[in-house]
Amino acid sequence: MRTLLAAFLLMLNVAAHAGEASKTITISDAWVRASLGKVSTTAAYVKIENHGTKEDKLLSVSTPAAAMASVHNSVTNDAGVVQMLPVMALSVKPGETVALTPGGLHIMVMNVKEPLKAGATVPLTLKFEQAGEITVEAEVRGLDGKPLKR
Ligand SMILES: [Cu+2]
């Protein structure tokens, strides 16, 4: 009886952790700015929430819509010039929400294969150190970045 109980408790424990692992990191509000004519570079934005108890790191981003995507941060230097710096591992601490928004952290989308038009959706795959790969559908928005009415 005791063994059975122990096995049952172990099963419960495993089930609880399996649920937890899949929802540690959630991505919301994913969107990409429409690309303009022949300009092949644009940016994508997401909100990353860490519901877990451990720090996680966003290591890389990819999308079938472009040859390359990487995390950048826009910072203003001493001369007042805005520069973009690559972010190799974006830390998301337990309980923290990291929002990528215009003017700050963003996902640089380079060499789009076809112009991205407002209203379309583009898959974005974010690879985390702990949570692994998470794919979301990002809405292509106009230049003002406003959510589209559906
Ligand atoms: Cu950039």
CA of 41 relative to ligand 1 center, distance in Å: 9
Q: What are phi and psi of 20, to 5 degrees?
A: -65, -45
Residue 121 in domain: yes
78: in domain = yes
- Give the model's pLDDT for residue 41: 96
In a domain, 9, yes or no: no
CATH code assigned at 60: 2.60.40.1890
In angstroms, what is the span from residue 95 Cα to ligand 1's centroid?
26
Mean pLDDT of 22-48: 93
**46 Cα: distance to centroid of ligand 1 (angstroms):** 14
- Note whether residue 150 is domain-resident: no
Q: Establish if 14 belongs to a structural domain.
A: no
Given a cut of 70, whether residue 114 has pLDDT beyond it is yes
CB-neighbour burial class of residue 126 (10 A; exposed 0-12, middle 13-18, buried 19+)? buried
Q: How many CA atoms lie within 13 A of 133 on its CB side?
A: 7
Q: Which residue has the tokens 């909100």?
A: 47
Q: How far is the CA of 93 from the centre of ligand 1 (A)?
A: 23
Q: From 148, 139, 104, 120, select the one nearest 32 (Cα to Cα).
A: 139
Instruction: Provide the residue range defining the domain that includes 42.
Output: 25-141
Summary mean pLDDT of the chain: 89
Asked whether residue 148 is domain-assigned, the answer is no
Convert the pLDDT of each residue in 73-111 to its tens digit: 999 999 999 999 999 999 999 999 999 999 999 999 999
Task: Judge whether 87 lies within some domain.
Answer: yes
| Within a domain: 101 | yes
Q: Looking at residues 122-131, what average pLDDT do you find?
A: 97
What domain count does the chain have?
Answer: 1
